[in-house]
Chains A and B, each alone.
Chain A
Amino acid sequence: MIRFRDLSLHYEGADHPAVAGVDATIAEGELCVVVGPTGSGKTTLLRTTNGLVPHFSGGTLTGEVTVAGHSIADHHPRDLAEIVGFVVQDPRAGFVTGTVEEELAFSMESLGIDPATMRRRVEEILDLLGLDQLRDRPVDTLSGGEAQRTAIGAALTALPRILVLDEPTSALDPRAAEDVLAALHRLVHDLGITVLMAEHRLERVMGFADRILHLDGPGARIGGPGEMLADSPLAPPLVQLGRVAGWDPPPVHIRDARRLAGGLRERLTVEAEGGSGGSSGTVLLDASGVTVTHDGTVAVHDVSLQLRAGERVALMGRNGAGKTSLLWALQGTGRRDGGRVRAGDADPAELRASDRRRRVGLVPQEPDDLLYLATVDEECAQADRDAGAEPGSTRSLLDSLLPGVPAAAHPRDLSEGQRLLLVLAFTLAAAPPVVLLDEPTRGLDQVVKDRLCTELTRLAAEGHAVVVSTHDVEFAARFATRVAVLAAGDVVTDGPATEVLAGSPMFAPQVAKVLAPLPLLTVDDVKACLP
């Protein structure tokens, strides 16, 4: 169905080709996941399937890509709309019309499909993706999962035989991600649509995938999920657990692993941990009764939270549960309608912005919002001045977080992970005892996430209190000593990570699911318990 024959793509002015020597064939009706570290050309590869690369973005393509027998060399993206449905990374940025129903019809209008057929197909797609309740909703009021399903539906109404998606679940909470994946699963199984998608969060999609296309440096490998991930640095915890336990081939479904896990469970000796609540450090931030309202709706309701030195806290909960509002209110820049916050001897909300960030630092969800200069060096120098720090201190912070970020590069040309750590370095330049990060793991691959986890753990060991809001249960399991779960603005659970995560049906990491009832969350925990 999709054929890459010795595909290489070179963007003008780039040192390396974005994709080189890819040879792969994806058969009809397969769900194929493209994996690879950040910058390995996943998005570029996906965009060649309907000719957006090179027709839309430029670049020199060698080799050949054919979809359903059509070569992209002589077809424009708009001519391939009935063959390849394409969903961009941020579906909201791709919405053209006002409501869900009109959005579904837009591609068909462009293709000149007759009104009766259009009407019928819109109704069918609404049912297929469970969007019928949302048909008249303005697209800008949709939640992340709803927007993603609408974008998938909009691509499907042209009845393409291939659906290409760029990280469809990266911004979604676990439940919304499952809705989207279930919808894709149905498309593959019931309609025989071929799906090609990129995804960093392999633990989520591995179970659904028929094939994995692994981009690593030059070239690419394709094969079944187990064999492809067995020795990959991007392997999800389940595969890593398989390696530790010596299961070959490594399992890709929790169910398979549980069946194998009986022997492993007996070999593990788990010592009862004596309260890892970390209540020993000094209180760095003390919040009580914090309430935030936006336009009359309560985003955060009467939340009390104490952060101590050395604590690593994960803040979890659905999209829209109030995590972002809470972090901004704790930092003092965001709105707060009630309650009190003390950071050291002052309320950060009453301080000047430049003093506020010396007490509580916040890395926002869109780190790009803070970047506006032409080179990394200029940004670092400006950050030194903003923080009143010694010249060069931001740069050395950055080097300790992530060595080798090119000084003359434009910040927008850096990878997501590099930009995140650059902004974290800005935040640390003011030396705040409390560091908050809002959804830092979005779009990061496993290797960069490991790095982030190590660095944040080091900061906590140096006496900071670190709070991370995240949907990524595997990251939370590895990073956090304490987990607080928000729901509809309330803190519903707040306790040691092991207790909160291991027992939760929604937030349990893969290792906990396999080894329940043992209170183990990560592969490292398992290793520590092996004789």
Chain B
Amino acid sequence: MSRAAGTRRLHAAAWWVWALGLGATATRTTNPILLLFIAAVAGYVAVTCRDRTPWSRSYGAFLRLAAIVLVIRIGFHVVLGGVAGPTELVRLPEIPLPSWASGIRIGGAVSAEGVLHAAYDGLRLGVLLVCVGAANALADPRRLLQSLPGALYEVSVAVVVALTTAPQLVASAVRIRRARQLRGDLRRGVRGFTSLVVPVVEDAFDRALSMAATMDARGYGRAGEVPAGVRRATGACVIGGLAGLSMGAFAVLDTTAPDVLGVPALVVGGVLGFGALRLGARRAIRTRYRPDRWGGAETVVAASGLVALVGVLVAERTGAGTLDPVFVPITLPDPPVSAMIGVLVALVPVLVARTPVRSRASIVTATRKAAA
């Protein structure tokens, strides 16, 4: 049993809203106290609430990636310079560059203020990665895909299959590379490449055919009868919706475009697109097994992430505490109180996601009764 007993699996989208709320909070500040606090909150929730599943194990990889980002950011600053400051830590030998490259510097003085600036900046990006990693660990991306509207079912199945088979492809490449040594065939270059790729591709084709046969035999791809008129209307809605959305987006971003094109086109495109999804779903006769339901707990989790974002926005407006600390002179920045409180609220999922739910047995009896 991979799920901790008595805890409920929350809707995948709730976790992503929560994590993106925290991530957005992180992008609005370089205050290390706030950033580390966000990372701690995201990390604690991820470790406490995650399932024991393969994708949740990827959290470690995200943490490592965040650390690498931080190191690279500081490394670049040390070598290429940037913010200068009065406190010189070390003076690297400077490589003289021709005059046309003025403004670029390699080596030279490294100031404590500059290193600190780079560290804060790298930390911001790193914390964003920690938040995304937390979402990935907490919610199977496959379950997020399953919540797509029925009209996009085929697309979501294709992505799920790809997610399943990509690791298999890697495994079969590793296996075949190893087996090739048994033939004593150690050629490199194009010929060596063929001897690796041909079996890998053949293997993948065999598996794909086998999977297609099974899916066909299991009823996948059955389509409901839809009148021709509805089919045409769906097509028109898809095209109209896409046109409206792209025109609207262009007009909103381009300040020279007339105002009538912007928001109205977006609205019309949105409505048409929504209609296309609803109409398209009429063709799909499929139902969904145990869909993730959006309940009170989901709203609380998603809201707690957004509260963190609101907290930092309030801090921006009121100016209480420091969101972007100064480096000259080096001082410990004040923590922005409202932002800290907001991030603290993002710990709420630990309480919500751990509430016990009805036991499996009672669910079974309940559905049996419902069916009877």
Contacts and interface: CB of A to CB of B under 8 A. Distances in A.
* Real binding pair: yes
Interface of A: 47, 50, 52, 56-57, 76-82, 84-86, 88-90, 93-98, 101-102, 105-120, 122-123, 133, 135-138, 140-141, 154-155, 158, 328, 331, 333-334, 352-354, 356-357, 361-364, 366, 368-372, 382-383, 386-387, 412, 426-427, 430
Given A56-B213, A88-B213, A115 B288 contact: yes
Given A93-B206, A370-B183, A78 B220 contact: yes
Contact of A354 (B2, B186, B194): B186
A169 B236 CA distance: 52
Interface stretch (B18-26, B74-82, B197-205): B197-205
Given A109-B289, A368-B202, A371-B199, A86 B214 contact: yes
A439 to B, nearest CB: 14
B180 interface: yes
Interface string B218-231: 11111000000000
Contacts of B161: 96
B182 interface: yes
A109 B286 contact: yes
Contacts of A107: 218-220
B53 interface: yes
Contacts, number: 195
Interface string B271-305: 00000000000000111111100000000000000
Contacts of B164: 95-98, 140
B176 to A, nearest CB: 5
A334 B178 CA distance: 8
Given A56-B212, A96-B161, A78 B289 contact: no
A372 B198 contact: yes
The 10 closest A-B pairs by CB, nearest first: A94-B214, A81-B219, A105-B289, A369-B179, A354-B184, A107-B218, A86-B217, A372-B198, A93-B210, A112-B285
Most chain B CB within 10 A, of A110, A138, A361, is at A110
Contacts of A118: 287, 289
A362 B182 contact: yes
A77 B176 contact: no
B185 interface: yes
A94 B222 contact: no
Most chain A CB within 10 A, of B213, B287, B289, is at B289
Contacts of A135: 1
Nearest to B140: A98
B184 A102 contact: no
Interface of B: 1-3, 51, 53-54, 140, 142, 157, 160-161, 164, 167-168, 175-176, 178-186, 194-196, 198-199, 202-203, 206-207, 210-222, 285-291, 363-364, 367-368, 370-371
Nearest to B222: A78
Contact of B184 (A47, A52, A412, A430): A430
Nearest to A84: B217
B34 to A, nearest CB: 36
A96 B175 contact: no
Nearest to A102: B289
A40 B367 CA distance: 47
B142 A115 contact: no
Contacts of A357: 181-184
B218 A106 contact: yes
B161 to A, nearest CB: 6
Nearest to A139: B164
Nearest to A106: B218
B370 A77 contact: no
Given A52-B213, A93-B210, A331 B182 contact: yes
A334 B168 CA distance: 20
B194 A372 contact: yes
13 contacts: A77-B213, A95-B164, A98-B140, A108-B289, A109-B287, A118-B287, A154-B218, A352-B186, A357-B182, A366-B175, A368-B199, A370-B180, A412-B202
A156 to B, nearest CB: 11
Contacts of A426: 183
A100 to B, nearest CB: 11
A368 B182 CA distance: 12
Contacts of A106: 218, 220
B175 to A, nearest CB: 6
A93 B216 contact: no
A115 B213 contact: no
A359 to B, nearest CB: 12
A430 B182 CA distance: 10
A30 B286 CA distance: 32
B182 A333 contact: yes
Contacts of B195: 372
B185 to A, nearest CB: 5
Given A52-B217, A110-B219, A386-B185, A137 B286 contact: no
A296 to B, nearest CB: 13
Contact of B370 (A95, A96, A116): A116
Nearest to A90: B210
Contacts of B179: 364, 366, 369-370
A84 B221 CA distance: 16
A158 B222 CA distance: 14
Contacts of B198: 372
Contacts of A334: 178
Contacts of B185: 382, 386
Contacts of B219: 78-79, 81-82, 107, 110-111, 158
A430 to B, nearest CB: 6
Contacts of B221: 78, 110
A50 B176 CA distance: 34
Given A93-B210, A155-B217, 11 more contacts: A81-B219, A86-B218, A89-B210, A94-B215, A108-B287, A120-B364, A353-B186, A364-B179, A372-B199, A386-B185, A426-B183
Contacts of B217: 50, 52, 77-78, 80-81, 84-86, 155
A353 B181 contact: yes
A452 to B, nearest CB: 18
A93 B213 CA distance: 10
A137 B199 CA distance: 30
A119 B222 CA distance: 21
A136 B2 contact: yes
A111 B221 CA distance: 9
Contacts of A364: 179, 182
B149 to A, nearest CB: 15
Contact of A133 (B1, B160, B215, B220): B1
B153 to A, nearest CB: 9
Contacts of B370: 116
A430 B216 CA distance: 45
B289 A115 contact: yes
Nearest to B196: A372
A116 B286 CA distance: 14
A113 B210 contact: no
Contact of B371 (A57, A81, A117, A136): A117
Contacts of A113: 287
B160 A97 contact: yes
A93 to B, nearest CB: 4
B289 A138 contact: no
Contact of A112 (B157, B175, B286): B286
Contacts of B183: 357, 370, 383, 386, 426
A107 B212 CA distance: 13
